[in-house]
Chain A
Amino acid sequence: MPEPFSTVTSRVIPIPRANVDTDQICPARFLKITDKAGLADALFFDWRFTPDGAKRVPPSFIDEPRNAGRQILLVGDNFGSGSSREHAPWALRAWGIRAIFSTSFADIFKGNALKNALLPIVVTPERHAALTAALAASPDGEWTVDLASQKVTLPGGDSFDFEIDPFARKMILAGTDEIGYVLSQLPAIEAWEAAHPARVDTREGAAAR
């Protein structure tokens, strides 16, 4: 069950890359697990290590010593494209990331992130440029993301509001489970099913062949 989550205050890791796909975030060979263990190590693995397994020099973004412990990412357009693997947000959360700023996120990744209380925060290209400049000017400044007030506060006190799916926000703030919400509407599901006979029965195939 998720924990309620509202605020993160952290320094920020810039990853100025567009179209970062989920194969970069968590390469496929780490998907053979049957639980969620060990995924922090898989995060951006091939960016961090050479094919021989040596740590790259200079170190990749999240491995830069100054970036240790940082919980917020500032990334390029269309983050999380490609595969639907929820291992990507699991790996980001396992590393400690709680919020990601971008101009856009891939649809499936965005949904998966919200279900793991990892905040995908969409900003305009202008805002993104301003944030990039602010981060360059103050690379060790702390940003605060407050989900309850939907407000981001930058070092120096500047702040701005952000949009996020209102339903997902409510779920994350309360630590509520979406399946519980849907099961609370079971009568509606039962009524729909009664009015709509199943289109197929996957259990009947053997006889048909």
Chain B
Amino acid sequence: MAEDHHAHDHGSELSEMQLRVRALETILTEKGYVDPAALDQIVENVETRIGPHIGARIVARAWADPEFKRRLLEDASDAVNALASFDPVAAHLIAVENTPQTHNVVVCTLCSCYPWSVLGLPPVWYKSFPYRSRTVIDPKGVLADFGLTLPAETQIRIWDSTAETRFLVVPMRPDGTDGWSEEQLAELVTRDSMVGTGLPKSPEAAKGEARR
């Protein structure tokens, strides 16, 4: 089956798409509808300005600062914009907190809605048909595909992003991180842990990576 994940292996689609996309860009530029410099800037934005490093800093702040966490869970857009450290986030960001009782998982079954402003562009798996179809009916099976098994007593809460609200999961702070700075904590926060398909790195795992 030709699925997103394998599309870049398909040489025929690649050359066909290169030609067709270049043609459309040429037409739209020649007709004065788009500015190539603005297009370059858009690409630069998504490649360098936005990304999971933003979400990681927000989560780390929430772990380190209970008052910020309270405000984040109450109104994530306001709380993040008040930091003034990033481009303003999308208008309606909602932060949902993992606890020992509840694990949150975010999906968009209908298309690919994802909190770009704090996580960047979604990975291919998030937009893939297996993730979009199965997460709502078999979330434990999907989490197993990521190598994640939760305690049997943990409730799973799925958020289907069917409107212009966007969801950021605030994972649980790993044990053994007392007294860590926000910068250190942010190193533990993975993209998948902010979508709900992973957990933050443990301090040991992070240390091992640093040694390699």
Are both chains from one complex?
Answer: no
